[in-house]
Structure 1
Amino acid sequence: MNRLLDPNSASFATVGKKRTGIATRPLKGNYKKLLWFKQPFPDNYTDETTFLDHLQRNPRLQPYEFWSLMADATVIVQHLASVAIFCCCFVAIIHGRVSPVAVVGWASLCTILAWFLWDHWMGQELEVIADVPYATASGRGEVVSNASPTLSPRTQQRLATAKSAVLIYAALLGLSPILKSLTRSTTSDSIWALSTWLLMMNVAFFDYSGGPGAQLPASISTNSAMMASAVLASRLPSTTHVFSLTLFSIEIYGLFPIFRRQLRARSPWGHLILTFALVTGAWGGLFVTLTGNGRGAFVAGAILGGIITLLSMGICSWWLLGLQKYKNEIHGPWDPARPIIRRHWD
């Protein structure tokens, strides 16, 4: 009895062959990994002669390059610098070192100039689209006729942008008294802790791989930044301060990322110059905020911070290059088939 139950014994193998039946017959024909037609093979059959022929190691691996990693890191650096500039501006406003009207005034001026540049880019895209003489429908050569609107698409887009700006301005004017008394019963320590966590969420959930499309950033990132600015604005002394800080936060967290994406896609040199300006402003403002000094602290912070930022970007890029050799993704004939979905129909 024990001999029959021993997996290594000949009797056990004989019993197994009698039960399976099909395994005792010689297998004829070439095995194919298909289930929709009958084959002289069991369902759990493995073709040992061709099983590893199609083995692939890291088939979709794209080797990193140092300078491409450095260029991608500038997106992270820009956003971190933007958050640091916002925090430095808030500290300067709450301590009375800077007028809130001056902060939001300069920010609004930069926003308007950036919008003019963005509008110029959109005009270039519309000109490229207008060069197409006609369009076809359903791929059958039928000419599509468009009715002529009273206003051009570019004019309609400008009016929509102006309308949105007026609505945001009016809404902030009405909400500023409410935001000022929003956290009156909350201690300042809780406000600082809550705003810190919200800004950390903004940094963590920001879409660093976003394309050049004119869309708002990720909702979690933007909402957390708006909540942080709202609770911080509730600690300011007047409704003017609250209105200025809230409008500044909308510009730097909602509109500025759109311009940064467009600038990166349109002008690499402009993207590099903007990165340098943000790093200089962030580190200089941070040193001024920590030391309380003026121009000397700003220059020292900009120089030292620029060196630290450049070294951090280089070290992280080399670290990622070194980690790539440990990537070991194996694909073989056992992987399920991946359907090919046609996104554009001819």
Structure 2
Amino acid sequence: MSGWKKVLYYDQGYPDNYIEPELFLADLKKNLHTKPYRYFFVVQESGALVQQLSCVCCFICVFVWLQQEWLSPVVLMCCSFLLTLSSFLLVEVSTSNGLFSLSKTGNIQQFAMVIFFLCLLSPIMRTLTESISTDTIWAMSFGMMLVHLAFHNYGVPQAGAKVSDSVSLNAAVFAAVCLASRLTTSLDTFSLLSCAIEMFVFFPHFRRTIKEASPKFAVCMTALWVAASISLLITISSIALTFYLLTTMMITFVCPLWVIKLQHLKNNIYGPWDEAVLNKEENESVGNSDQSI
């Protein structure tokens, strides 16, 4: 090496951007904080997406059953109430500080208030889209459900994708209102909208709470949702059932394998050019030590 030094306060006869060839990219580090994933872990984590997809399929099947008068709205409301109550109790048993804790009655009061206003607004909802063609309603509902799935928060920490709970929820509610407006009675509309509130508002929080409390039970819940979707779709359309099964298999088994195969292509670089990152834990420990001194 020559007598060159990495300083700028005096002229060494070199350009300002000069660096010794031996030192060029000497501090470069690759994939410093990359965590390698295992296949079965990725398969387990894909359960959140499968559950939400199954939730959308079950909701559409419930709408078809109501429209074809295969399902009574009273039976739907009773089943929805029992499932919601079971979810409350399950979260209360699994964790003492869950979002739906029975000791905190605020959530139950909000749920009762939403159901009350749905009951009042159901006649208006049923006639809200009378001037819109049925084909347009199907197209808008399908598009809004896709938006719901695309922007839904699946609980992945530090996700690179942009998620928005408000956009996802509003899209699902909009699709539910469009579908409910094609039912014949106000009671049918009320039962479908109350089911939508339980599926798209309360179920995502229930799923995250249960996953934190018991990851194994979350896997069982994924299997239950898939079984329920298959049982409902088989009565409506074999084509929809085939598409659902292929999509579920793709999400559960093929995409995780694809992620594992592409891990070696990940190439995050780190070096002295990166911005400084404040480590709060180290600063707190240093502050506590200074106070003790």
- Shorter chain as denominator, the TM-score bin is 0.7 to 0.9
Percent identity reads: 28
CA–CA distance in structure 1, aligned partners of residues 244 and 167 of structure 2? 29
Structure 1 residue 48: Cα displacement? 2.8
Aligned residue for 2:174?
A: 227
Q: How many residues align?
A: 272
Q: Which structure's CA Rg is the greater one?
A: 1
Structure 1 residue 199: Cα displacement? 0.4
Q: Which blocks of at least 5 consecutive residues in structure 1 are unaligned?
A: 1-26, 126-153, 212-216, 292-300
Runs of 4+ in structure 1 deviating by more than 4 angstroms, as ranges, are 39-42, 304-308, 343-346
- The reply on whether 1:193 has 2:139 as its aligned counterpart is yes
Aligned counterpart for 1:161 among listed residues 107, 112, 115: 107
Aligned counterpart for 1:317 among listed residues 235, 256, 279: 256
Aligned residue for 1:337?
A: 275
Q: Which amino acid aligns with 2:25?
A: L
Aligned counterpart for 1:253 among listed residues 192, 200, 208: 200
- The reply on whether 1:31 has 2:6 as its aligned counterpart is yes
- The reply on whether 1:85 has 2:58 as its aligned counterpart is yes
Residues 308 and 49 (structure 1), Cα distance of their counterparts in 2 relative to 1, 3 Å cut? closer
TM-score by length of 1: 0.71
Give the secondary-structure state (helix, strand or coil) at the position aligned to 1:182.
coil
Q: Which blocks of at least 5 consecutive residues in structure 2 are unaligned?
A: 158-163, 289-293
Q: Could you tell me whether the CA contact under 8 Å between 2:88 and 2:102 is conserved in 1?
A: no
Aligned residue for 1:282?
A: 229
Aligned residue for 1:203?
A: 149
Structure 1 residue 210: Cα displacement? 5.2
CA–CA distance in structure 1, aligned partners of residues 198 and 125 of structure 2? 18
Aligned residue for 2:129?
A: 183
Aligned counterpart for 1:54 among listed residues 11, 16, 27: 27
Aligned residue for 1:146?
A: none
Q: Could you tell me whether the CA contact under 8 Å between 1:280 and 1:306 is conserved in 2?
A: no
Aligned residue for 1:97?
A: 70
CA–CA distance in structure 2, aligned partners of residues 210 and 241 of structure 1? 36
Give the secondary-structure state (helix, strand or coil) at the position aligned to 2:37.
coil
Structure 1 residue 176: Cα displacement? 0.8
Q: Which amino acid aligns with 1:49?
A: E
Aligned counterpart for 1:326 among listed residues 249, 265, 270: 265
- The reply on whether 1:119 has 2:66 as its aligned counterpart is no
Residues 69 and 155 (structure 1), Cα distance of their counterparts in 2 relative to 1, 3 Å cut? closer
Deviations 1:306-327, CA, capped at 9 Å, x for gaps: 7984575222221111112222
Structure 1 residue 100: Cα displacement? 1.9
Structure 1 residue 167: Cα displacement? 1.1
CA–CA distance in structure 1, aligned partners of residues 127 and 72 of structure 2? 21
- The reply on whether 1:44 has 2:17 as its aligned counterpart is yes
Q: Could you tell me whether the CA contact under 8 Å between 2:155 and 2:208 is conserved in 1?
A: no
Structure 1 residue 166: Cα displacement? 2.3
CA–CA distance in structure 1, aligned partners of residues 180 and 56 of structure 2? 15
Structure 1 residue 55: Cα displacement? 1.6
Q: Which amino acid aligns with 2:227?
A: T
Q: Which amino acid aligns with 1:168?
A: V
CA–CA distance in structure 2, aligned partners of residues 166 and 173 of structure 1? 11
Aligned counterpart for 2:185 among listed residues 238, 246, 251: 238
Deviations 1:57-94, CA, capped at 9 Å, x for gaps: 22222112111111111111111111110011100110
Deviations 1:8-57, CA, capped at 9 Å, x for gaps: xxxxxxxxxxxxxxxxxxx856426xx8xx35565423343212211212
- The reply on whether 1:171 has 2:146 as its aligned counterpart is no
Q: Which amino acid aligns with 2:267?
A: N
Indicate the larger mover: 314-323 or 188-197.
Answer: 314-323
Aligned residue for 1:16?
A: none
Aligned residue for 2:43?
A: 70
Structure 1 residue 124: Cα displacement? 5.9
RMSD: 2.8
